[in-house]
């Protein structure tokens, strides 16, 4: 409590500054922008026809065989210490896994060919048995097709009969990869008298990499029970989806761990890890939290271990359905290609998503961890228990989990209540800008692996509302063995909590769309007959946006200006958010949205400010283009007008380059540099202080931050420094930093994408980042091509940029994936937005500041 009151004082003081700074900044910017634009020769926007490509070849498995269960034996031949690699004659031995699997399946339609998935595996020794008669069926041929379908085709001497039960045994070996997919190797340094490099093996299989671990029916709806056995080195611990059943020493080197059978689950949720990790003593009885032994000893997994049980209990009560398994393990991996993965019973996280250090990590980081854990735990029901039939409906997994996570965290951590309500608004952003794929496209549009991967974008994660509920798909996925009751229970929770996206209220003719949602507890009117305002969704209890007729919007704005406290705090934030998003969806005029922010002059609470700042971010993105429109300093514009969506308003003050903030940051950072060992900067302020100090400083500050980044063993500190390094305004330092991303010793492969993105977020670095990813596309796109393109092109708003983007796609022969189409579409929309809104926005600001 004491820590936060200190911040509030600074906040209160900066609000007045902020009002002036934000408004003045935008006005200066727009006046400048207008002059610049007037000098340009506007080119008409070319017409783009939506590309209708012919349907891809069918890559789905035939549905004549239905898997029931798998017996999987796996042995990763992985040394845990680099020291031993030296003594090994063939270093390759350390990077192989061997194994065998027996899948039992039911035949629903006679066939003499078995198709299942296998990729990058050397498969041998097929044995097919009739489980009903115990007779062996001869195999005439087996081949792994060399196309994108990844089919392993096994021709039999006799046909399998409908109604029969069969099994297929296969032996295989594969490679432990270094690219964070399939079974991959991760390295970390264990500190003792000398630094020792350690290795661990882990998996990441969503959406279509289970087939690289063992041959399987690798489609989400083809669920089965998995009985897993792992042979691993004696000094390691093996974790799997289910709890350990037994474990024996085999010889001087090897040990075997048997796991209980899993619930019936999809292949993409399969997971195992083999490591020397230990678990936190704070873990609840029904779950364990694993991490590097150093991190566990330092107590960094404590927070995660503590809240996991609570969140799990919350969901169990909320859904009325207990968690399906006996235990739930979570593990913080030094390398992971995604933030976290919800593998049933063994959730994997990047270290930053699970490890928290008191006194070093910020409150914001704590909240990120809580929200991420809540998201992954929500998946244990949404996604794992109830699964979409096919990847086109992945939004059901991600949208529900995202929504529920904010809900759970708000109940868990009182400090985040306010912030969570804002995140809710994030998660149902009506983004007219990124509308390139419907939430649930037809199945035939999502066939190839790249198309499946495309589905994991912002729309899927954030846009959980839809004009019709599509629950038939989840029902489909669970219609066996009484799944209906379970699913109905889960769906009830959803339908009770979720609203349709926009409720429109017209106070002149009394028309209300979607009124069934209005008749809940949350409509407050101030005597409409008097021409007063009406406010729906009081305290944001419902999950939907509200639109009004113009008169009511204006009345609400006036009410806010004259006496904001008649409108609940939550709604003051929500009104701003709704207004801006409705404006972006062209449902209301942009000036109405701007009007809704007038009351900020008297607003002292954080929430409406945060909401405004976040929404103005798009304005800033579009207008703060020094490299496009010329140097802003020329007209007295503050160089850094980057209103990143920050939780703390102190961030906003600093990001607006208030001289007070910049000076404070520089001073605090200088103290740290002088003092080298003792960092007295408050953890909550570190990310912003670091960034500001590096931005204001030169090579000395940058190199100090780089040294600290290299030497720090704390994930949270490392991440903050890594981001701060991208804040410099020095082009040569940004170029050097970009080059470092090509060296995994300097920047881990999993961090390459986010590092480039933070450089692109910096106005000074955006063009550099765009050039850089084009020059090194093959390497950098490993860490997620979609988010790179999306991030680097966010500010694109000129014809020239549009052409560059299109040329890049053509030159690289990039498949016409959705993320490229989205980036192109976004740029087109930006161009239109700027041309449609610049005059009215400018006029609004001129009027506001004139009075």
Residues that bind Zn ion (CB under 5 A): 398, 401
Rounded Cα distance between 239 and 228, Å, is 10
Q: What are the tokens at 581?
A: 């998003």
Shortest Cβ 220–Zn ion spacing (Å): 14
Sign for the pseudo-dihedral over CA of 460, 462, 465, 471: positive
* Range 517-524 contact pairs with CB under 8 angstroms and sequence separation of 24 or more: 517/542, 517/544
| Whether the Cβ atoms of residue 136 and residue 129 lie closer than 8 Å to each other | yes
Separation of CA 209 from chain center? 19
129: left (phi over 0), alpha (psi -120 to 50) or beta: beta
- Number of other residues whose CB lies within 10 A of the CB of residue 309: 16
DSSP track, 287-305: EEEEE-HHHHHTTTTHHHH
Q: Is position 375 annotated in a ligand binding site?
A: yes
Residue found by looking up tokens 């979409």 in the block: 388
- Number of other residues whose CB lies within 10 A of the CB of residue 565: 11
Shortest Cβ 697–Zn ion spacing (Å): 38
Residue found by looking up tokens 């579009």 in the block: 622
Shortest Cβ 342–Zn ion spacing (Å): 6
Judged by beta carbon, residue 335 or residue 398, the one nearer Zn ion is 398
Q: What are the tokens at 214?
A: 């063992």
Shortest Cβ 373–Zn ion spacing (Å): 12
Using alpha carbons, select from 33, 1, 5 the residue that is nearest to residue 630.
33
Judged by beta carbon, residue 401 or residue 498, the one nearer Zn ion is 401
Shortest Cβ 338–Zn ion spacing (Å): 9
Rounded Cα distance between 268 and 278, Å, is 26
Shortest Cβ 375–Zn ion spacing (Å): 6
Q: What are the tokens at 67?
A: 């898997």
Q: What is the 3-state secondary structure (H, E, C) of 720-747?
A: HHHHHHHHCCCHHHHHHHHHHCCCCCCC
Burial 197-226 (b: 16+ CB within 10 A, else e): ebbbbbbbbbbbbbbbbbbbbbbbbbbbbb
Rounded Cα distance between 410 and 201, Å, is 35
| Whether the Cβ atoms of residue 795 and residue 765 lie closer than 8 Å to each other | no
Largest CA distance in the chain: 91
Judged by beta carbon, residue 268 or residue 609, the one nearer Zn ion is 268
Instruction: Specify burial of residue 36 (Cβ count, 10 A radius: 0-12, 13-18, 19+).
Output: middle
Q: Is position 36 annotated in a ligand binding site?
A: no
Measured CA to CA in angstroms, residue 559 lies from 246, 344, 533, 564, 774 at distances of 67, 50, 8, 6, 51
Measured CA to CA in angstroms, residue 188 lies from 60, 293, 713, 767 at distances of 39, 11, 10, 33
The helix (run of H) or strand (run of E) holding residue 98 is: strand 96-107
Measured CA to CA in angstroms, residue 681 lies from 685, 690, 694, 699, 724 at distances of 7, 9, 14, 21, 14
Q: What are the tokens at 416?
A: 């985040």
Shortest Cβ 401–Zn ion spacing (Å): 5
Q: Is position 379 annotated in a ligand binding site?
A: yes
SS3 374: helix
Shortest Cβ 819–Zn ion spacing (Å): 18
Peptide bond into 237 cis (omega under 30): no
Judged by beta carbon, residue 214 or residue 461, the one nearer Zn ion is 461
Shortest Cβ 398–Zn ion spacing (Å): 5
- Number of other residues whose CB lies within 10 A of the CB of residue 84: 11
Rounded Cα distance between 362 and 369, Å, is 11
Judged by beta carbon, residue 398 or residue 603, the one nearer Zn ion is 398
Rounded Cα distance between 421 and 435, Å, is 24
Shortest Cβ 181–Zn ion spacing (Å): 17
Q: What are the tokens at 610?
A: 């945060």
Judged by beta carbon, residue 371 or residue 692, the one nearer Zn ion is 371
DSSP track, 517-575: HHTSS-EEES-GGGT--EEESGGG-SEEEEEE-HHHHHHHHHHHHH-GGGS-HHHHHHH
Active-site positions? 376
Judged by beta carbon, residue 97 or residue 382, the one nearer Zn ion is 382
Judged by beta carbon, residue 406 or residue 844, the one nearer Zn ion is 406
Residue 844: what are its φ and ψ, rounded to 5°? -60, -45
Shortest Cβ 458–Zn ion spacing (Å): 13
Judged by beta carbon, residue 401 or residue 760, the one nearer Zn ion is 401
Judged by beta carbon, residue 341 or residue 540, the one nearer Zn ion is 341
- Known binding-site positions: 375, 379, 398
- Known binding-site positions for Zn(2+): 375, 379, 398
């Amino acid at each position: 409590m004491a820590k936060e009151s200190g911040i509030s004082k600074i906040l209160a003081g900066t609000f007045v500054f902020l009002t002036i700074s934000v408004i003045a900044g935008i006005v200066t910017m727009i006046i400048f922008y207008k002059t610049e634009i007037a000098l340009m020769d506007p080119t008409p926007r070319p017409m783009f026809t939506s590309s209708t490509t012919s349907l891809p070849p069918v890559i789905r498995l035939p549905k004549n065989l239905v898997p029931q269960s798998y017996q999987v034996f796996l042995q990763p031949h992985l040394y845990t210490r680099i020291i031993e690699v030296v003594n090994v004659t063939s270093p390759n031995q350390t990077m192989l896994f061997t194994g065998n699997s027996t899948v039992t399946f039911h035949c629903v339609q006679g066939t003499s060919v078995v198709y299942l998935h296998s990729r990058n595996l050397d498969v041998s020794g097929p044995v097919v048995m009739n489980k009903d008669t115990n007779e062996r069926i001869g195999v005439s041929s087996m081949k792994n097709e060399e196309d994108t379908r990844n089919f392993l085709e096994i021709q039999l001497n006799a046909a399998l009969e409908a109604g029969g039960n069969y099994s297929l045994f296969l032996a295989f070996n594969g490679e432990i990869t270094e690219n964070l997919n399939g079974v991959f190797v991760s390295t970390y340094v264990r500190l003792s008298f000398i630094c020792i490099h350690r290795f661990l093996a882990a998996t990441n299989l969503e959406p279509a990499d289970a087939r690289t671990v063992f041959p399987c029916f690798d489609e989400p709806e083809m669920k089965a029970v998995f009985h897993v056995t792992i042979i691993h080195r004696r000094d390691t611990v093996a974790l799997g989806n289910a709890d350990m059943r037994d474990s024996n020493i085999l010889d001087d080197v090897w040990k075997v761990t048997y796991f209980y059978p899993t619930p019936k689950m999809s292949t993409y949720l399969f997971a195992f890890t083999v490591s020397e990790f230990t678990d936190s003593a704070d873990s609840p009885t029904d779950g364990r939290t694993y991490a590097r032994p150093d991190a566990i000893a330092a107590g960094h997994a404590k927070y995660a271990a503590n809240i996991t049980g609570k969140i799990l209990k919350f969901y169990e009560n909320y859904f009325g359905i207990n968690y399906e398994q006996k235990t739930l393990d979570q593990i913080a991996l030094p390398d992971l290609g995604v933030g976290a993965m919800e593998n049933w019973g063994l959730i994997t996280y990047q270290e930053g998503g699970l490890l928290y250090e008191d006194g070093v990590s910020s409150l914001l980081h704590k909240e990120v961890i809580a929200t991420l854990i809540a998201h992954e735990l929500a998946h244990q029901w949404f996604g794992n228990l109830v699964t979409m039939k096919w990847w086109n409906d992945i939004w059901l997994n991600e949208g529900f989990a995202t929504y529920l996570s904010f809900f759970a965290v708000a109940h868990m951590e009182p400090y985040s209540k306010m912030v969570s309500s804002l995140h809710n608004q994030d998660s149902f952003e009506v983004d007219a800008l990124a509308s390139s794929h419907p939430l649930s496209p037809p199945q035939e549009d999502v066939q190839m692996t790249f198309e499946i991967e495309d589905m994991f974008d912002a729309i899927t994660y954030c846009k959980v509302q839809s004009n019709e509920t599509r629950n038939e798909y989840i029902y489909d996925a669970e219609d066996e063995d009484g799944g209906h009751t379970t699913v109905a229970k889960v769906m009830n929770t959803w339908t009770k909590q979720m609203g349709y996206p926009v409720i429109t209220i017209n106070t002149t003719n009394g028309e209300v769309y979607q009124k069934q949602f209005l008749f809940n507890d949350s409509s407050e009117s101030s005597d409409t007959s008097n021409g007063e305002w009406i406010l729906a969704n009081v305290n944001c209890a419902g999950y939907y946006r509200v639109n009004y007729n113009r008169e009511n919007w204006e009345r609400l704005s006036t009410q806010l200006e004259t006496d904001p406290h008649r409108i609940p705090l939550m709604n003051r934030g929500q009104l701003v958010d709704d207004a801006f998003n409705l404006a972006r969806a062209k449902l209301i005029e942009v000036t109405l949205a701007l009007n809704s922010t007038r009351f900020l002059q008297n607003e002292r609470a954080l929430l409406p400010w945060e909401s405004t700042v976040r929404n103005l971010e798009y304005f800033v993105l579009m207008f703060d283009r020094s490299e496009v429109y010329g140097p802003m300093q020329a007209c007295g514009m503050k160089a850094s007008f980057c209103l990143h969506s920050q939780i703390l308003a102190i961030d906003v003050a600093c990001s607006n380059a208030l001289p007070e903030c910049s000076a404070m940051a520089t001073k605090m950072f200088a103290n740290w540099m002088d003092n080298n060992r003792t960092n007295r900067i408050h953890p909550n302020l570190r990310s912003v202080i670091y960034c500001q100090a590096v931005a204001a400083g030169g090579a000395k500050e940058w190199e100090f931050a780089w040294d600290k980044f290299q030497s720090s063993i704390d994930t949270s500190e490392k991440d903050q420094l890594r981001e701060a390094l991208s804040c410099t305004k020095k082009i040569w330092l940004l170029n050097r930093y970009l080059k470092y991303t090509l060296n995994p010793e300097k920047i881990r492969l999993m961090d390459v994408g986010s590092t480039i993105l933070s450089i692109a977020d910096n106005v000074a670095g955006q063009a550099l980042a765009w050039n850089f990813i084009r020059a090194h596309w093959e390497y950098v796109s490993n860490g997620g091509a979609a988010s790179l393109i999306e991030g680097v092109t966010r500010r694109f708003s000129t014809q020239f940029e549009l052409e560059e983007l299109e040329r890049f796609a053509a030159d690289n022969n990039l498949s016409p994936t959705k993320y490229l189409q989205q980036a192109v579409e976004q740029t087109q929309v930006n161009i239109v937005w700027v041309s449609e809104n610049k005059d009215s926005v400018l006029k609004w600001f001129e009027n506001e500041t004139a009075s």
